[in-house]
Amino acid sequence: MRSEWWRGAIIYQVYPRSFFDSNGDGTGDIPGITAKLDYIRSLGVDAVWVSPFFKSPMRDFGYDIADYLAVDPIFGTNADFASFITAAHERDLKVVIDLVLAHTSDQHPWFKQSRQSRTNPKADWYVWADPKPDGTPPNNWLSVFGGSAWQWDSRRQQYYLHHYLRSQPNLNWHYQPVVDTMFDGVRFWLEAGVDGFRLDAITTLAHDPNLRDNPARPKEMRPQRFADSNNPFSWQESLYTRDQPRTLELLADLRTLIDRYDNRYLIGEIADVDMITVSAKYTRTGKHLHSCYNFELMQLGCTAELLGDIIKKTESVLGSGWTTWAMSNHDSIRVVSRFGKLDHLRGDDRALAKLLLAFLFSIRGGACLYEGEELGLTQAEVAFEDLQDPYGIEFWPDFKGRDGARTPMPWSSNEPNAGFSTAKPWLPIPPEHYPLAVCEQEKTENSALDVCRHFLAWRKQHPALIRGDLKLAASTDPVLVFERSDQNERVLCLFNISNRPATHLLSGVWQTLSGHGFSSKRAGDQLELPGFGAAFFSRS
């Protein structure tokens, strides 16, 4: 039976290091997630996405895997993860795990063997290439984390490819033994009971086998996300390092494997490309991914016009495809801080957090809710001496890295380390997060947490908001208006993307909906929205 549970699903992202520490070593773990499953379920979400927990030297905090089949000891054991899956399923929560297919750690036994010679059994498992006659790298490809994407290895007298850290060598997905072995790993976790995979950086899975140079990107076309404005990586068009034809072939094979199991799910992270167009290509056939996760809502701007443009483009190209939206994650500046710096959104972080959650849960598609986003957590300022993220250390001070979005979850305002751990946490918890702790918000009516719970419970009463179509409606900045509809109901959704009051003229006969946690004033066809306000109406 295939329920397509993922359509319109709300997925709660857990960053294991920072969620809850069950054994007092300062680092979150799998038993800690299990201990907090009742909290996750209370939010009204449908699934839990757990960021990497596999055995790893942790140079990129789990995205550099040394054993795909083992839980890293800092997070627990395979038995702990089995208990977590059972406990989640008992609470009607699906389990989605991060799967890093494109690269491994340089500490993986495969790579240790591959680098020894050009003739050993693992020699072709990674992307190796000879230098140019002058000794320089094979081409101009750049790493996201700075510098060349090629690293010299003196044993083989060749360069190996790494799209990220040099300790993250790329697997050679043009080599069938790699495909077969990695798919065996997928089967292992399917048999263990996971319900789906979030495929990390999936557009980097395959490379151009001819190793052609990437062309330059015009300065005015360079993206402004993260450290891109100061990182030469964004100065190239990733023509030969992203979204290769081979990737689509591999995803079709992976989907065939996944479809042998009931109700399993593939969601791919899409970045460094035309994200909406590639999301459509990877999902609309029904033969590749079920959904795509992109960074369109993690940019630096937020206006009614900009959000409307993203929705318009998505609706025009997605077709029968599906996308899963996110506004925050472990790689981006927390959304309240990112948008709260804009003049028209300054002033009330709590109200802004609630507005953004309502918008995220109302647009067509699924949504990922990053741990702490339901609390309205702000981006933490982490001192250089406390930084753990190699990305931030490399680009400091222009870009301070991702640690500010990874600080531990505040559970209690009156316990040491905010109730996260009895030991010093791996990252410091900022003082401003203590008043936002779960225990405080659970006893505060109309807190961000309270609104999140009520809104998701209310959303389940309106299937049009879960799987219905979306149609943008005419509106004037700063108000964004769209309609969600299915066979039984039409829901009109209005959002004031500003900190000042705004009005909107309703057209047609609409009945006011309540129970979602927002208030507005209506006089005839004239609707008054407070700053950061939202309103919802329906008709059959």
Helix ranges (DSSP H) in 49-155: 78-90, 109-114
- Three-class SS state of 490: strand
As a whole number of angstroms, the distance between CA 459 and CA 418 comes to 31
Distance CA 85, CA 64 (A): 23
Q: Which two tokens stand for residue 286?
A: 């029904």
Q: Which of 46, 98, 106, 269 is catalytic?
A: 269
Sequence-ordered list of residues with C-beta below 8 angstroms from that of 56, at least 6 positions apart, any chain: 62, 63, 64, 65, 66, 72, 105, 107
Alpha helix (H) residue ranges in 75-199: 78-90, 109-114, 176-192
Q: Strands (DSSP E) along 185-259, which ranges?
A: 196-199
d(CA 314, CA 42): 31
Structure tokens at 41: 């379920």
* Annotated catalytic residue, options 21, 64, 80, 200: 200
SS3 201: coil
Whether the Cβ atoms of residue 155 and residue 116 lie closer than 8 Å to each other: yes
46 is catalytic: no
The residue count for the chain: 540
Encoded tokens for 524: 């005839």
Helix (H, G, I), strand (E, B) or coil at 68: strand
Contact assessment for residue 143 and residue 170, using Cβ atoms and an 8 Å cutoff:
no
Q: Count Cβ atoms below 10 Å from residue 280 Cβ, excluding itself.
A: 22
CA distances from 307 to 162, 298, 363, 482, 509 (A): 34, 11, 10, 11, 26
Closest Cα to residue 396, out of 377, 382, 408, 379?
382
d(CA 491, CA 508): 12
CA distance 462 to 448: 21
- Judging by DSSP bridges, how do beta strands 265-270 and 291-294 pair with one another? parallel
Structure tokens at 43: 């939010």
Which token pair is 180? 């077969």
Going by C-beta distance under 8 Å and a sequence separation of 6 or more, which residues neighbour residue 260? none
Rama region for 524: left / alpha / beta (φ>0; ψ in -120 to 50; rest): left
DSSP state of 27: S
Q: Is 262 a catalytic residue?
A: no
Structure tokens, 304: 């009614």
- Strands of 100-230 (E only): list them: 128-129, 150-153, 158-161, 196-199
Q: What are phi and psi of 360, to 5 degrees?
A: -60, -40
From the centroid of its chain, how far is CA 438?
22
Q: Catalytic positions, please?
A: 200, 269
